[in-house]
Amino acid sequence: MNHTRRNFLKFAGLTAAGLCVASAGGVMAAGAGATYKEGAQALKAKRWGMVIDSKKVGTKEAIDVLAKACHDVHNVPNIPGKQNIMWIWAAGFEQAFDQPNNFMDEGLEKRQFPILCNHCTNAPCVRVCPTQATYKRPDGIVAMDYHRCIGCRYCMAGCPFGARSFNFMEPRLHLDVTKLNKDFPTRMRGVVEKCNFCVERLAQGKQPACVEVSNGAVVYGDLSDPNSEIRKILREHYTIRRKPSLGTEPSVYYII
Amino acid sequence: MLEKALKGSPKYYMWVGFLLLVILGTSGFYIMQLMEGLTITGMSRDVSWGFYIAQFTYLVGLAASGVMIVLPYYFHHYKKFKDLVIFGEFMAIAAVVMCLGFIVVDIGQPQRMLNVVLFPTPNSILFWDMLVLNGYLILNVLVGWTCLEADRQGLPHPKWSHTLAYVSIIWAFSIHTVTAFLYQGLPGRHYWLTAILAARFLASAFCSGPAILLLVIMLTEKVTTFKANVEGLATLAKIITYAMCVNVFFFLLEVFTAFYSGIPGHTHSIVYLFKGVHGHHELVPFMWTAVVLGLGSLCLLIPPKLRDNMKLLPWSLAILVIATWIDKGLGLLIGGFNPTPFETIAPYWPTGKELMISLMIYATGALVVTILFKIATEVKQEIGASQKPAVE
């Protein structure tokens, strides 16, 4: 009697453990590989980066053009109030660069700067994410898996650039569903999102949306290639990055 | 022993019923949050953690209440704490339950919570916090329950429970350190980015936690036959006093570093909290209340004559609790997010719904404390340990 009960319990225990492992494995397999299929003409780089010529795109109106292109292509809603979602937007010099100057030249004082995720080399958001929903791609892009994010918002506390937005509410309520870009997913409530450096467009061989509409004011390229156009521009102009002292190594440069 | 929680006086039933009603009533707001999202809170793009995470942080301190009793008892064989140990451990259980509750209500996709376990990520401090908090919960359940059961049967405590008690003492320090690490390792949040934050968390926990515990024990004495060892209570009050002195001292270290160096990053948050900037003074009255009450509690706790006055002590402890709550449950979070990365001020205030959901968790914690303390006091009564003298 005892023997059979013992054997039964052993069997039941092993089965339960096996089921746990199997289902966990299944979940992990489903979670992995959440990347876009790359076409033959996909743009590739060892480290993607961006240079923004703030002299060419230095007004709120000009930056709104970039923001509209980006937000349209990524189905980013515009939510009135303090719970808005923003991937790219305009900010003044002091807001953007943390370098107060009492006697700034007039042009710079009034100039606006496009602000977006910096795709840092040492990204604090990647470091703090407890589920690897935010992760670093080999090409330097800080990407997100919206299906894995638990919405703890640790990445928002970790990001020193305020680049991240949380879907406090159902984002589709603030989207015109007739004008959605069907090639890019909408998000659900309760997850964080941010600029993705247009990974989905790179995979199709296209430049990022903001670059496309910037008339050359925003240049995108491979920072690791000394012969790339972006490196040429960086060689020829004085550029700065946001909050370099924090050591996150942003990949977005600004021509002042 | 659980059956002891089922039988009680009408007053006990009424209190438990009241707590259940509160939980039931307020859970409606949580369901609302589940359906609409965290938009029902006062949180924003800039202040992305709010009241929930602040309460979580404060209650990690309450979880430490136990260790200030358990440590002297096990490490220094301070026998006067013998009958208090179980209350410390049971309070820790309730505190960790509330901590976990506040985390669950704060996350945007709670049904995906297990992703933290399915994709273990050691570089995230949140992963470690999950480990140490759950570990501390299990340790206290195991040690507390086993020792109480052994007491009840008149048996010596099993040896392994001693070993686990030692582990839990060290573990208690880890929960504060790791919780502080959640904050102090973030670049760009200057108010948190300070090496002394973990030490401040420990000091604040070791005064506020035992203070709440002492208040609850005094209340327990009022409603049960339990009578704590007076000398033991006085020692606990002394421990609270030392910890509060250290807590205030550590904060003053922050103030010196910020204002003598004059580095804006270090001063901004403190100026916002205590003076206000850009026309925002939301927290100023609270922070100064904390200062007055904190110093007031020290004035009432440092002189032995006042501290040993058991009539005055509850009031001294209550104002200490309020002061530390404002500092850690309000100022730390909002001051950490302000000024924002854009050097602006984003005022935050919890909404009514947010407070109701918090109440749900506090009521759950109170229910856990009630049931566990009921069991503990009944066992003490059964074995005649630390009882009030029988009234003729």
| A88, A195 contact by CB (below 8 A) | yes
pTM of the predicted structure, to 2 decimals: 0.90
Spatial distance between the Cα atoms of B289 and B283, rounded to a whole number of angstroms: 10
Task: Kindly state whether residue B199 falls inside one of the protein's structural domains.
Answer: yes
Percent over 70 (pLDDT), chain B: 99
- Cβ distance of A166 and B108 shorter than 8 Å: yes
Query: Quick one: pLDDT band at residue A10, thresholds 50, 70, 90?
Result: low
Is residue A155 less than 8 Å (CB to CB) from chain B? no
User: Nearest 10 degrees: CA dihedral of A106, A50, B346, B324?
Assistant: -130
Average pLDDT over residues B171-183: 94
Shortest distance between the Cα of A122 and any Cα of chain B, in A, equals 11
| B272, B339 contact by CB (below 8 A) | yes
Size of interface A-B (CB pairs under 8 A): 145
Nearest residue, CB atoms, B115 vs list A94, A148, A159: A148
User: Is the bond preceding B285 in cis, omega lying within 30 degrees of 0?
Assistant: no
In this prediction, residue A20 carries a pLDDT of: 55
Query: Quick one: pLDDT band at residue B82, thresholds 50, 70, 90?
Result: confident
pLDDT in tens, B109-167: 999 999 999 999 999 999 999 999 999 999 999 999 999 999 999 999 999 999 999 99
| B36, A169 contact by CB (below 8 A) | yes
Helix, strand or coil for residue B159?
Answer: helix
Domain that holds residue B85: 2-383
User: Scanning every residue of chain B, which has its alpha carbon at the shortest distance from the alpha carbon of A158?
Assistant: B186
Neighbour count for residue A113 (Cβ, 10 Å): 21
Q: Is the pLDDT of residue A228 over 70?
A: yes
Spatial distance between the Cα atoms of A155 and A164, rounded to a whole number of angstroms: 8
Spatial distance between the Cα atoms of B2 and A225, rounded to a whole number of angstroms: 69
Q: Is the pLDDT of residue A23 over 90?
A: no
The CATH code of the domain that includes A77 is 3.30.70.20
pLDDT in tens, A148-164: 999 999 999 999 999 99
The CATH code of the domain that includes B311 is 1.20.1630.10
| B186, A124 contact by CB (below 8 A) | yes
> In terms of Cα–Cα distance, which of B281, B283, B244, B275 is closest to B259?
B275
| Residue A209, burial from CB neighbour count under 10 angstroms (0-12, 13-18, 19+) | buried
Task: Kindly state whether residue A201 falls inside one of the protein's structural domains.
Answer: yes
User: Scanning every residue of chain A, which has its alpha carbon at the shortest distance from the alpha carbon of B105?
Assistant: A152
Among A residues 186-245, those touching chain B with beta carbons less than 8 Å apart: 188-192, 243
Domain that holds residue A65: 42-255
Structural domains counted in chain A = 1
Task: Kindly state whether residue A172 falls inside one of the protein's structural domains.
Answer: yes
| B203, B250 contact by CB (below 8 A) | yes
In this prediction, residue A107 carries a pLDDT of: 87
Percent over 90 (pLDDT), chain A: 77
pLDDT in tens, B211-229: 999 999 999 999 988 888 8
Spatial distance between the Cα atoms of B343 and A101, rounded to a whole number of angstroms: 14
Task: Kindly state whether residue A76 falls inside one of the protein's structural domains.
Answer: yes
Query: Quick one: pLDDT band at residue A77, thresholds 50, 70, 90?
Result: very high
Average pLDDT over residues B44-51: 95
Task: Kindly state whether residue B138 falls inside one of the protein's structural domains.
Answer: yes
Task: Kindly state whether residue B84 falls inside one of the protein's structural domains.
Answer: yes
Task: Kindly state whether residue A176 falls inside one of the protein's structural domains.
Answer: yes
Shortest distance between the Cα of B188 and any Cα of chain A, in A, equals 5
Judging contacts by C-beta atoms under 8 Å, the chain A residues touching residue B110 are 150
Which amino acid makes up residue B30? Y
In this prediction, residue A38 carries a pLDDT of: 75
- Cβ distance of A150 and B48 shorter than 8 Å: no
Average pLDDT over residues B255-269: 93
Helix, strand or coil for residue B270?
Answer: helix
Spatial distance between the Cα atoms of B313 and B237, rounded to a whole number of angstroms: 8
Task: Kindly state whether residue B389 falls inside one of the protein's structural domains.
Answer: no
Helix, strand or coil for residue A51?
Answer: strand
Residue A49 sits at φ, ψ, to 5 deg, of: -150, 170
Average pLDDT over residues B233-258: 95
Is residue A34 less than 8 Å (CB to CB) from chain B? no
User: Nearest 10 degrees: CA dihedral of A18, A20, A21, A22?
Assistant: 80
| B339, B268 contact by CB (below 8 A) | yes
Q: Is the pLDDT of residue B392 over 60?
A: no
Task: Kindly state whether residue B338 falls inside one of the protein's structural domains.
Answer: yes
User: Scanning every residue of chain A, which has its alpha carbon at the shortest distance from the alpha carbon of B347?
Assistant: A82
User: Scanning every residue of chain B, which has its alpha carbon at the shortest distance from the alpha carbon of A189?
Assistant: B37
How far lies B370's CA from each of A191, B9, B31, in Å?
Answer: 37, 13, 25
Nearest residue, CB atoms, B118 vs list A24, A165, A170: A24
Structural domains counted in chain B = 1
How far lies B132's CA from each of B102, B127, B173, B224, in Å?
Answer: 16, 9, 10, 33
In this prediction, residue B281 carries a pLDDT of: 92
Rg (C-alpha) for chain B, rounded Å, is: 21
pLDDT in tens, B273-291: 999 998 899 999 999 999 9
Q: Is the pLDDT of residue A16 over 80?
A: no
In this prediction, residue A33 carries a pLDDT of: 42
- Cβ distance of A27 and B118 shorter than 8 Å: yes
In this prediction, residue A101 carries a pLDDT of: 84
- Please state at what angle helix B313-326 crosses helix B51-63, rounded to 10 degrees: 140
DSSP code per residue over B54-105: HHHHHHHHHHGGGHHHHHHHHHS--GGGTTTHHHHHHHHHHHHHHHHHHHHH
pLDDT in tens, B315-359: 999 999 999 999 998 999 999 998 899 988 999 999 999 999 999
Residue B308 sits at φ, ψ, to 5 deg, of: -80, -5
In this prediction, residue B159 carries a pLDDT of: 93
Query: Quick one: pLDDT band at residue B382, thresholds 50, 70, 90?
Result: confident
Spatial distance between the Cα atoms of B154 and B170, rounded to a whole number of angstroms: 28
- Residue in A125, A153, A164 to test binding to B, most B beta-carbons within 10 Å: A153
Task: Kindly state whether residue A10 falls inside one of the protein's structural domains.
Answer: no
pLDDT in tens, A50-65: 999 999 999 999 999 9
| B341, A94 contact by CB (below 8 A) | no
Question: What is this model's ipTM?
Answer: 0.92
In this prediction, residue B225 carries a pLDDT of: 87
Give the H/E segment covering residue A151: none
Spatial distance between the Cα atoms of B225 and A204, rounded to a whole number of angstroms: 76
DSSP code per residue over A58-88: -SHHHHHHHHHHHHHHTT----SSTT---SE
Helix, strand or coil for residue A215?
Answer: coil
Average pLDDT, chain A: 89
The count of residues in chain A is: 256
Task: Kindly state whether residue B391 falls inside one of the protein's structural domains.
Answer: no
Task: Kindly state whether residue B10 falls inside one of the protein's structural domains.
Answer: yes
Task: Kindly state whether residue A48 falls inside one of the protein's structural domains.
Answer: yes
Neighbour count for residue B159 (Cβ, 10 Å): 8
